[in-house]
Chains A and B, each alone.
Chain A
Protein backbone atom coordinates (compact mmCIF):
# COMPACT_ATOMS: atom_id res chain seq x y z
CA UNK A 1 0.00 0.00 0.00
CA UNK A 2 2.72 2.34 1.01
CA UNK A 3 4.71 1.61 -2.12
CA UNK A 4 1.67 2.36 -4.23
CA UNK A 5 1.24 5.68 -2.46
CA UNK A 6 4.90 6.44 -3.02
CA UNK A 7 4.57 5.53 -6.62
CA UNK A 8 1.57 7.81 -6.99
CA UNK A 9 3.44 10.56 -5.24
CA UNK A 10 6.42 10.08 -7.53
CA UNK A 11 4.20 10.08 -10.58
CA UNK A 12 2.51 13.21 -9.37
CA UNK A 13 5.72 15.01 -8.56
CA UNK A 14 7.31 14.04 -11.85
CA UNK A 15 4.31 15.47 -13.68
CA UNK A 16 4.42 18.55 -11.47
CA UNK A 17 8.16 18.72 -12.05
CA UNK A 18 7.86 18.95 -15.81
CA UNK A 19 5.53 21.91 -15.39
CA UNK A 20 7.65 23.81 -12.89
CA UNK A 21 11.05 22.85 -14.23
CA UNK A 22 12.29 26.38 -13.71
CA UNK A 23 11.25 26.43 -10.08
CA UNK A 24 13.78 26.01 -7.31
CA UNK A 25 14.23 22.31 -6.55
CA UNK A 26 14.47 22.98 -2.82
CA UNK A 27 11.02 24.63 -2.78
CA UNK A 28 9.82 21.64 -4.75
CA UNK A 29 11.18 19.16 -2.18
CA UNK A 30 9.51 21.08 0.61
CA UNK A 31 6.24 21.32 -1.28
CA UNK A 32 5.98 17.59 -1.89
CA UNK A 33 7.17 16.90 1.67
CA UNK A 34 9.79 14.33 0.83
CA UNK A 35 13.43 14.00 -0.11
CA UNK A 36 14.17 11.18 -2.53
CA UNK A 37 17.66 9.78 -2.03
CA UNK A 38 19.19 7.41 -4.57
CA UNK A 39 21.42 4.71 -3.03
CA UNK A 40 23.16 1.58 -4.30
CA UNK A 41 21.83 -0.81 -1.67
CA UNK A 42 24.67 -3.19 -2.51
CA UNK A 43 27.62 -1.49 -0.85
CA UNK A 44 27.98 -2.43 2.78
CA UNK A 45 28.23 -0.45 5.03
CA UNK A 46 27.23 2.60 2.96
CA UNK A 47 23.88 1.24 1.84
CA UNK A 48 22.78 -2.36 1.90
CA UNK A 49 19.80 -4.54 2.66
CA UNK A 50 19.79 -5.77 6.22
CA UNK A 51 19.44 -9.55 6.19
CA UNK A 52 16.99 -9.64 9.11
CA UNK A 53 14.76 -6.64 8.57
CA UNK A 54 14.96 -6.71 4.73
CA UNK A 55 15.28 -2.92 4.88
CA UNK A 56 17.80 -0.65 3.20
CA UNK A 57 20.21 0.47 5.89
CA UNK A 58 23.69 1.95 6.12
CA UNK A 59 25.80 5.04 6.68
CA UNK A 60 24.47 6.91 3.66
CA UNK A 61 20.90 5.83 4.36
CA UNK A 62 21.14 7.27 7.88
CA UNK A 63 22.67 10.48 6.52
CA UNK A 64 19.80 10.77 4.02
CA UNK A 65 17.29 10.40 6.86
CA UNK A 66 19.12 13.04 8.87
CA UNK A 67 19.12 15.46 5.94
CA UNK A 68 15.41 14.91 5.29
CA UNK A 69 14.76 15.46 8.97
CA UNK A 70 16.80 18.66 8.86
CA UNK A 71 14.77 19.90 5.88
CA UNK A 72 11.55 18.97 7.67
CA UNK A 73 10.48 16.42 5.05
CA UNK A 74 10.09 12.65 4.84
CA UNK A 75 13.03 10.57 3.51
CA UNK A 76 12.40 8.24 0.58
CA UNK A 77 15.18 5.80 -0.25
CA UNK A 78 15.40 4.57 -3.80
CA UNK A 79 17.76 1.86 -4.99
CA UNK A 80 19.78 2.53 -8.15
CA UNK A 81 22.23 0.68 -10.35
CA UNK A 82 25.75 2.10 -10.41
CA UNK A 83 25.55 3.11 -14.05
CA UNK A 84 22.13 4.69 -13.59
CA UNK A 85 23.15 6.95 -10.73
CA UNK A 86 23.99 10.15 -12.54
CA UNK A 87 21.27 9.92 -15.26
CA UNK A 88 18.58 9.37 -12.60
CA UNK A 89 19.76 12.51 -10.84
CA UNK A 90 19.96 14.55 -14.03
CA UNK A 91 16.48 13.50 -15.06
CA UNK A 92 15.06 14.53 -11.71
CA UNK A 93 13.80 11.11 -10.63
CA UNK A 94 15.72 11.49 -7.40
CA UNK A 95 16.62 14.59 -5.40
CA UNK A 96 20.09 13.70 -4.19
CA UNK A 97 22.51 10.87 -4.81
CA UNK A 98 23.70 9.11 -1.67
CA UNK A 99 25.25 6.23 -3.56
CA UNK A 100 28.95 5.72 -2.70
CA UNK A 101 29.63 8.38 -5.27
CA UNK A 102 33.29 9.27 -5.72
CA UNK A 103 33.85 12.98 -6.10
CA UNK A 104 36.31 13.53 -8.92
CA UNK A 105 37.17 16.26 -11.38
CA UNK A 106 35.61 14.52 -14.39
CA UNK A 107 32.24 14.31 -12.66
CA UNK A 108 32.22 17.94 -11.61
CA UNK A 109 31.14 18.73 -15.16
CA UNK A 110 28.03 16.55 -14.71
CA UNK A 111 26.85 17.08 -11.16
CA UNK A 112 27.45 19.25 -8.12
CA UNK A 113 28.77 17.70 -4.95
CA UNK A 114 27.84 18.22 -1.31
CA UNK A 115 30.42 18.39 1.45
CA UNK A 116 32.50 15.22 1.39
CA UNK A 117 30.89 12.61 3.62
CA UNK A 118 33.49 9.85 3.58
CA UNK A 119 37.19 9.67 2.91
CA UNK A 120 38.82 6.41 2.00
CA UNK A 121 41.90 5.32 0.12
CA UNK A 122 44.70 2.85 0.05
CA UNK A 123 46.70 2.13 3.18
CA UNK A 124 49.94 0.46 4.14
CA UNK A 125 50.40 -2.26 6.75
CA UNK A 126 53.95 -2.64 8.10
CA UNK A 127 55.68 -4.78 10.68
CA UNK A 128 56.57 -2.80 13.78
CA UNK A 129 60.06 -4.32 13.73
CA UNK A 130 60.78 -2.34 10.54
CA UNK A 131 60.58 0.88 12.58
CA UNK A 132 58.66 2.53 9.76
CA UNK A 133 55.95 4.85 11.00
CA UNK A 134 55.21 7.04 7.97
CA UNK A 135 54.51 6.49 4.30
CA UNK A 136 57.63 8.51 3.43
CA UNK A 137 59.71 5.99 5.41
CA UNK A 138 58.96 3.39 2.72
CA UNK A 139 61.37 5.02 0.24
CA UNK A 140 63.90 2.49 -1.02
CA UNK A 141 62.12 -0.34 0.83
CA UNK A 142 60.39 -3.37 -0.62
CA UNK A 143 56.61 -3.07 -0.49
CA UNK A 144 54.23 -5.82 -1.62
CA UNK A 145 50.85 -5.46 -3.29
CA UNK A 146 48.47 -6.96 -5.81
CA UNK A 147 49.06 -6.86 -9.58
CA UNK A 148 46.95 -4.80 -11.97
CA UNK A 149 45.12 -2.44 -9.62
CA UNK A 150 45.69 1.22 -8.81
CA UNK A 151 47.68 0.22 -5.73
CA UNK A 152 51.04 0.06 -7.49
CA UNK A 153 50.85 3.37 -9.40
CA UNK A 154 49.40 5.14 -6.35
CA UNK A 155 52.20 3.83 -4.15
CA UNK A 156 54.88 4.87 -6.63
CA UNK A 157 53.31 8.32 -6.83
CA UNK A 158 53.13 8.64 -3.03
CA UNK A 159 56.65 7.30 -2.40
CA UNK A 160 59.13 8.01 -5.18
CA UNK A 161 61.90 5.42 -5.18
CA UNK A 162 59.91 2.67 -3.46
CA UNK A 163 60.64 -0.91 -4.54
CA UNK A 164 57.26 -2.47 -5.38
CA UNK A 165 56.76 -6.22 -5.84
CA UNK A 166 53.36 -7.35 -7.10
CA UNK A 167 51.53 -10.67 -6.88
CA UNK A 168 48.53 -12.32 -8.51
CA UNK A 169 46.36 -11.85 -5.42
CA UNK A 170 46.32 -9.48 -2.47
CA UNK A 171 46.43 -12.57 -0.24
CA UNK A 172 49.86 -13.54 -1.59
CA UNK A 173 51.20 -10.04 -1.01
CA UNK A 174 49.82 -10.14 2.53
CA UNK A 175 51.42 -13.56 3.12
CA UNK A 176 54.71 -12.13 1.84
CA UNK A 177 54.53 -9.36 4.44
CA UNK A 178 53.87 -11.85 7.22
CA UNK A 179 56.89 -13.88 6.11
CA UNK A 180 59.07 -10.77 6.04
CA UNK A 181 59.64 -10.63 2.28
CA UNK A 182 58.88 -6.92 2.26
CA UNK A 183 58.43 -4.26 4.90
CA UNK A 184 54.93 -3.23 3.84
CA UNK A 185 51.73 -4.41 2.21
CA UNK A 186 49.40 -2.01 0.38
CA UNK A 187 45.71 -2.49 -0.27
CA UNK A 188 42.36 -0.75 -0.30
CA UNK A 189 41.60 0.46 3.19
CA UNK A 190 38.61 -1.78 3.91
CA UNK A 191 40.33 -4.96 2.61
CA UNK A 192 43.51 -4.08 4.44
CA UNK A 193 41.71 -3.53 7.73
CA UNK A 194 39.81 -6.77 7.22
CA UNK A 195 43.13 -8.63 6.85
CA UNK A 196 44.57 -6.75 9.80
CA UNK A 197 41.59 -7.82 11.90
CA UNK A 198 42.29 -11.47 11.06
CA UNK A 199 45.76 -11.25 12.64
CA UNK A 200 44.25 -11.59 16.10
CA UNK A 201 46.88 -11.62 18.83
CA UNK A 202 49.67 -10.97 16.30
CA UNK A 203 48.23 -7.48 15.68
CA UNK A 204 50.65 -6.07 18.27
CA UNK A 205 53.55 -6.72 15.85
CA UNK A 206 51.95 -4.76 13.02
CA UNK A 207 51.05 -1.16 12.33
CA UNK A 208 48.62 0.36 9.86
CA UNK A 209 50.35 3.55 8.74
CA UNK A 210 48.13 6.50 9.63
CA UNK A 211 48.34 8.15 6.19
CA UNK A 212 46.53 7.03 3.06
CA UNK A 213 48.73 6.67 -0.01
CA UNK A 214 45.85 7.77 -2.19
CA UNK A 215 42.56 9.36 -1.47
CA UNK A 216 39.07 8.67 -2.61
CA UNK A 217 36.34 11.04 -1.49
CA UNK A 218 32.64 10.24 -1.36
CA UNK A 219 30.08 13.03 -1.50
CA UNK A 220 26.38 13.38 -2.26
CA UNK A 221 25.46 14.23 -5.82
CA UNK A 222 23.22 17.24 -6.43
CA UNK A 223 21.72 18.29 -9.73
CA UNK A 224 23.95 20.78 -11.53
CA UNK A 225 23.12 24.37 -10.64
CA UNK A 226 20.68 23.62 -7.80
CA UNK A 227 22.49 25.86 -5.34
CA UNK A 228 19.47 25.99 -3.03
CA UNK A 229 19.59 22.23 -2.50
CA UNK A 230 23.35 22.24 -2.10
CA UNK A 231 23.26 25.01 0.50
CA UNK A 232 20.51 23.27 2.45
CA UNK A 233 22.18 19.83 2.33
CA UNK A 234 25.58 21.25 3.28
CA UNK A 235 24.01 23.18 6.14
CA UNK A 236 22.44 20.03 7.58
CA UNK A 237 25.73 18.12 7.13
CA UNK A 238 27.61 20.89 8.95
CA UNK A 239 25.06 20.73 11.75
CA UNK A 240 25.50 16.93 11.99
CA UNK A 241 29.25 17.38 12.21
CA UNK A 242 28.94 20.06 14.87
CA UNK A 243 26.51 18.13 17.04
CA UNK A 244 28.67 15.00 16.87
CA UNK A 245 25.85 13.12 15.17
CA UNK A 246 27.97 12.60 12.01
CA UNK A 247 30.76 11.06 14.06
CA UNK A 248 28.24 8.83 15.84
CA UNK A 249 26.93 7.61 12.49
CA UNK A 250 30.46 6.97 11.29
CA UNK A 251 31.23 4.77 14.29
CA UNK A 252 27.85 3.07 14.03
CA UNK A 253 28.73 1.74 10.57
CA UNK A 254 32.53 1.78 10.45
CA UNK A 255 33.52 1.67 14.12
CA UNK A 256 35.10 -1.04 16.27
CA UNK A 257 31.86 -3.02 16.55
CA UNK A 258 31.35 -3.10 12.74
CA UNK A 259 32.99 -5.50 10.32
CA UNK A 260 35.44 -2.87 9.14
CA UNK A 261 36.54 -1.95 12.68
CA UNK A 262 37.90 1.54 12.10
CA UNK A 263 39.42 2.67 15.37
CA UNK A 264 39.53 6.32 14.46
CA UNK A 265 37.74 8.82 12.29
CA UNK A 266 40.42 10.63 10.35
CA UNK A 267 38.22 13.17 8.60
CA UNK A 268 35.52 15.71 9.30
CA UNK A 269 32.59 16.64 7.11
CA UNK A 270 33.67 20.18 6.33
CA UNK A 271 34.90 20.54 2.76
CA UNK A 272 33.59 20.06 -0.75
CA UNK A 273 37.00 20.43 -2.36
CA UNK A 274 39.06 17.58 -3.72
CA UNK A 275 42.68 17.36 -4.79
CA UNK A 276 43.20 17.27 -8.53
Chain B
Protein backbone atom coordinates (compact mmCIF):
# COMPACT_ATOMS: atom_id res chain seq x y z
CA UNK B 1 0.00 0.00 0.00
CA UNK B 2 1.25 3.45 -0.90
CA UNK B 3 1.70 5.36 2.31
CA UNK B 4 3.76 8.53 2.54
CA UNK B 5 3.03 8.99 6.23
CA UNK B 6 5.79 6.69 7.43
CA UNK B 7 8.29 9.05 5.74
CA UNK B 8 6.98 12.07 7.57
CA UNK B 9 7.99 11.01 11.06
CA UNK B 10 10.99 9.65 12.91
CA UNK B 11 14.31 8.55 11.46
CA UNK B 12 13.29 8.41 7.83
CA UNK B 13 12.13 12.02 7.82
CA UNK B 14 15.37 13.12 9.51
CA UNK B 15 17.48 11.22 6.98
CA UNK B 16 15.61 12.68 4.01
CA UNK B 17 15.69 16.23 5.36
CA UNK B 18 19.41 16.05 6.13
CA UNK B 19 19.93 14.73 2.59
CA UNK B 20 17.92 17.58 1.09
CA UNK B 21 19.85 20.10 3.17
CA UNK B 22 23.20 18.68 2.08
CA UNK B 23 22.10 18.71 -1.59
CA UNK B 24 21.18 22.40 -1.27
CA UNK B 25 24.53 23.10 0.40
CA UNK B 26 26.38 21.30 -2.39
CA UNK B 27 24.57 23.45 -4.93
CA UNK B 28 25.17 26.69 -3.02
CA UNK B 29 28.87 26.17 -2.40
CA UNK B 30 29.46 24.96 -5.95
CA UNK B 31 27.68 28.00 -7.33
CA UNK B 32 29.78 30.37 -5.24
CA UNK B 33 33.01 28.72 -6.38
CA UNK B 34 32.20 28.02 -10.01
CA UNK B 35 30.95 31.50 -10.99
CA UNK B 36 34.28 33.31 -10.46
CA UNK B 37 36.13 30.36 -11.99
CA UNK B 38 33.83 30.49 -15.02
CA UNK B 39 34.46 34.25 -15.38
CA UNK B 40 38.19 33.59 -15.29
CA UNK B 41 37.97 30.88 -17.95
CA UNK B 42 35.76 33.06 -20.16
CA UNK B 43 38.32 35.87 -19.90
CA UNK B 44 41.10 33.46 -20.85
CA UNK B 45 39.20 32.62 -24.00
CA UNK B 46 38.79 36.35 -24.84
CA UNK B 47 42.33 37.40 -23.83
CA UNK B 48 44.66 38.96 -26.39
CA UNK B 49 47.08 36.01 -26.25
CA UNK B 50 47.03 32.79 -28.28
CA UNK B 51 48.48 30.84 -25.37
CA UNK B 52 45.83 32.02 -22.90
CA UNK B 53 43.05 31.35 -25.45
CA UNK B 54 44.31 27.82 -25.92
CA UNK B 55 44.50 27.30 -22.17
CA UNK B 56 40.87 28.38 -21.73
CA UNK B 57 39.71 26.24 -24.64
CA UNK B 58 41.64 23.22 -23.36
CA UNK B 59 39.97 23.52 -19.95
CA UNK B 60 36.47 23.68 -21.39
CA UNK B 61 36.97 20.80 -23.82
CA UNK B 62 38.78 18.58 -21.32
CA UNK B 63 36.04 18.93 -18.72
CA UNK B 64 33.01 18.82 -20.97
CA UNK B 65 34.06 15.72 -22.85
CA UNK B 66 34.28 13.46 -19.81
CA UNK B 67 31.10 12.24 -18.08
CA UNK B 68 30.35 13.79 -14.69
CA UNK B 69 30.36 10.36 -13.04
CA UNK B 70 33.98 9.90 -14.10
CA UNK B 71 34.81 13.32 -12.62
CA UNK B 72 33.36 12.26 -9.27
CA UNK B 73 35.23 8.97 -9.20
CA UNK B 74 38.46 10.65 -10.29
CA UNK B 75 38.34 13.36 -7.60
CA UNK B 76 37.41 10.86 -4.90
CA UNK B 77 39.37 7.71 -5.67
CA UNK B 78 42.10 9.00 -7.99
CA UNK B 79 43.39 12.52 -7.48
CA UNK B 80 43.91 12.57 -3.67
CA UNK B 81 46.18 9.53 -3.97
CA UNK B 82 48.70 11.68 -5.83
CA UNK B 83 49.20 13.97 -2.84
CA UNK B 84 52.03 13.59 -0.29
CA UNK B 85 51.11 11.33 2.63
CA UNK B 86 50.79 14.03 5.29
CA UNK B 87 48.39 16.11 3.16
CA UNK B 88 46.43 13.00 2.31
CA UNK B 89 45.97 12.05 5.94
CA UNK B 90 44.78 15.53 6.84
CA UNK B 91 42.38 15.53 3.91
CA UNK B 92 41.01 12.07 4.69
CA UNK B 93 40.47 12.98 8.33
CA UNK B 94 37.96 15.61 7.17
CA UNK B 95 34.91 15.20 5.00
CA UNK B 96 36.73 13.97 1.91
CA UNK B 97 33.44 12.83 0.32
CA UNK B 98 31.92 16.31 0.26
CA UNK B 99 35.23 17.95 -0.66
CA UNK B 100 35.68 15.68 -3.69
CA UNK B 101 32.06 16.22 -4.73
CA UNK B 102 32.41 20.01 -4.58
CA UNK B 103 35.67 19.88 -6.54
CA UNK B 104 34.12 17.72 -9.28
CA UNK B 105 30.90 19.77 -9.47
CA UNK B 106 32.73 23.11 -9.43
CA UNK B 107 35.14 22.24 -12.24
CA UNK B 108 32.36 20.67 -14.30
CA UNK B 109 29.83 23.46 -13.81
CA UNK B 110 32.44 26.17 -14.43
CA UNK B 111 33.26 24.74 -17.87
CA UNK B 112 29.65 25.13 -18.98
CA UNK B 113 29.15 28.48 -17.28
CA UNK B 114 32.33 29.82 -18.88
CA UNK B 115 30.77 29.27 -22.30
CA UNK B 116 27.58 31.08 -21.27
CA UNK B 117 29.58 34.01 -19.94
CA UNK B 118 31.67 34.07 -23.12
CA UNK B 119 28.47 34.34 -25.17
CA UNK B 120 27.41 37.17 -22.89
CA UNK B 121 30.70 38.98 -23.45
CA UNK B 122 30.46 38.54 -27.21
CA UNK B 123 27.00 40.04 -27.13
CA UNK B 124 28.38 43.30 -25.71
CA UNK B 125 29.18 45.64 -28.63
CA UNK B 126 32.94 45.78 -29.33
CA UNK B 127 32.81 49.57 -29.02
CA UNK B 128 32.28 49.20 -25.25
CA UNK B 129 35.62 47.44 -24.99
CA UNK B 130 37.31 49.90 -27.34
CA UNK B 131 35.95 52.83 -25.37
CA UNK B 132 37.38 51.37 -22.17
CA UNK B 133 40.80 50.87 -23.73
CA UNK B 134 40.66 54.39 -25.28
CA UNK B 135 40.12 55.81 -21.80
CA UNK B 136 43.39 54.17 -20.76
CA UNK B 137 42.10 51.11 -18.89
CA UNK B 138 44.05 47.87 -19.15
CA UNK B 139 42.50 44.75 -20.69
CA UNK B 140 41.66 43.35 -17.24
CA UNK B 141 40.27 46.61 -15.91
CA UNK B 142 38.14 47.16 -19.03
CA UNK B 143 36.76 43.67 -18.73
CA UNK B 144 36.17 43.88 -14.98
CA UNK B 145 34.64 47.35 -14.89
CA UNK B 146 32.84 47.64 -18.17
CA UNK B 147 32.30 44.46 -20.17
CA UNK B 148 31.80 41.61 -17.67
CA UNK B 149 29.11 43.32 -15.53
CA UNK B 150 26.99 43.88 -18.63
CA UNK B 151 27.78 40.40 -19.92
CA UNK B 152 26.73 38.76 -16.65
CA UNK B 153 23.39 40.56 -16.89
CA UNK B 154 22.85 39.14 -20.33
CA UNK B 155 24.11 35.71 -19.33
CA UNK B 156 21.95 35.46 -16.22
CA UNK B 157 19.15 33.34 -17.75
CA UNK B 158 21.48 30.69 -19.24
CA UNK B 159 23.48 30.71 -16.00
CA UNK B 160 20.31 29.94 -14.08
CA UNK B 161 19.65 27.13 -16.49
CA UNK B 162 23.13 25.77 -15.66
CA UNK B 163 22.21 26.07 -11.99
CA UNK B 164 19.21 23.87 -12.69
CA UNK B 165 21.50 21.27 -14.22
CA UNK B 166 23.89 21.65 -11.28
CA UNK B 167 21.03 20.98 -8.86
CA UNK B 168 20.23 17.73 -10.61
CA UNK B 169 23.91 16.81 -10.91
CA UNK B 170 24.35 16.91 -7.12
CA UNK B 171 22.49 13.58 -7.05
CA UNK B 172 25.43 11.79 -8.70
CA UNK B 173 27.53 12.49 -5.58
CA UNK B 174 25.84 9.45 -4.02
CA UNK B 175 28.38 7.22 -5.82
CA UNK B 176 31.23 8.55 -3.69
CA UNK B 177 29.34 8.22 -0.42
CA UNK B 178 28.14 11.81 -0.03
CA UNK B 179 25.01 11.64 2.15
CA UNK B 180 22.92 13.93 -0.05
CA UNK B 181 19.28 13.46 -0.98
CA UNK B 182 19.71 10.52 -3.36
CA UNK B 183 21.97 8.71 -0.89
CA UNK B 184 19.48 9.13 1.93
CA UNK B 185 16.64 8.06 -0.35
CA UNK B 186 18.44 4.81 -1.14
CA UNK B 187 19.12 4.38 2.55
CA UNK B 188 15.44 4.75 3.42
CA UNK B 189 14.60 2.30 0.64
CA UNK B 190 17.07 -0.31 1.91
CA UNK B 191 15.83 0.04 5.47
CA UNK B 192 12.08 0.18 4.81
CA UNK B 193 11.64 -1.59 1.45
CA UNK B 194 9.32 1.33 0.56
CA UNK B 195 10.91 2.15 -2.81
CA UNK B 196 7.92 3.94 -4.29
CA UNK B 197 7.37 6.31 -1.40
CA UNK B 198 11.07 7.06 -0.95
CA UNK B 199 11.57 7.91 -4.61
CA UNK B 200 8.33 9.87 -4.81
CA UNK B 201 9.65 12.04 -2.00
CA UNK B 202 13.03 12.51 -3.68
CA UNK B 203 11.45 13.30 -7.05
CA UNK B 204 9.11 15.83 -5.49
CA UNK B 205 11.99 17.50 -3.69
CA UNK B 206 14.13 17.71 -6.85
CA UNK B 207 11.14 18.94 -8.83
CA UNK B 208 10.22 21.62 -6.29
CA UNK B 209 13.71 23.12 -6.17
CA UNK B 210 14.05 22.87 -9.96
CA UNK B 211 10.75 24.68 -10.53
CA UNK B 212 11.88 27.39 -8.14
CA UNK B 213 15.08 27.93 -10.11
CA UNK B 214 13.22 27.80 -13.43
CA UNK B 215 10.74 30.37 -12.16
CA UNK B 216 13.59 32.63 -11.16
CA UNK B 217 15.13 32.21 -14.62
CA UNK B 218 11.86 33.16 -16.33
CA UNK B 219 11.54 36.23 -14.13
CA UNK B 220 15.08 37.36 -14.91
CA UNK B 221 14.60 36.69 -18.61
CA UNK B 222 11.69 39.12 -18.65
CA UNK B 223 13.67 41.76 -16.76
CA UNK B 224 16.72 41.53 -18.98
CA UNK B 225 14.89 41.69 -22.30
Which A positions have Cβ atoms within 8 angstroms of B? 144, 147-149, 152-153, 165-168, 172, 175-176, 179-181
Contacts and interface: CB of A to CB of B under 8 A. Distances in A.
Nearest to A175: B77
18 contacts: A144-B177, A147-B187, A147-B190, A148-B190, A149-B190, A153-B190, A153-B191, A165-B179, A166-B177, A166-B183, A166-B187, A167-B176, A167-B177, A176-B77, A180-B88, A180-B89, A180-B92, A181-B92
B113 to A, nearest CB: 29
A180 B89 CA distance: 8
A166 B19 CA distance: 14
B116 interface: no
A192 to B, nearest CB: 19
B68 interface: no
B81 A152 contact: no
A176 B81 CA distance: 11
B175 interface: yes
A153 B15 CA distance: 14
A88 B64 CA distance: 59
Contact of A168 (B81, B88, B175): B175
B115 interface: no
Contacts of B186: 147-148
A139 to B, nearest CB: 17
Main SS at interface, chain A: mixed
B217 to A, nearest CB: 33
A180 B186 CA distance: 25
Contacts of A166: 177, 183, 187
Contacts of B189: 148
B197 interface: no
Given A144-B177, A167-B175, A181 B96 contact: yes
A176 B96 CA distance: 11
Contacts of A149: 190
Given A165-B177, A168-B175, A152 B77 contact: no
A147 B176 CA distance: 11
A176 B78 CA distance: 11
Nearest to B191: A153
Contacts of A153: 190-191
Nearest to A180: B92
A84 to B, nearest CB: 25
A149 B191 CA distance: 9
A214 B179 CA distance: 24
B180 interface: no
Given A179-B77, A179-B81, A152 B177 contact: no
Given A176-B77, A179-B80, A179-B92, 4 more contacts: A165-B177, A167-B176, A167-B177, A181-B92
Interface in B34-66: none
Nearest to B100: A181
A147 B183 CA distance: 9
A152 B88 contact: no
A181 B77 CA distance: 9
A165 B89 contact: no
A33 B88 CA distance: 68
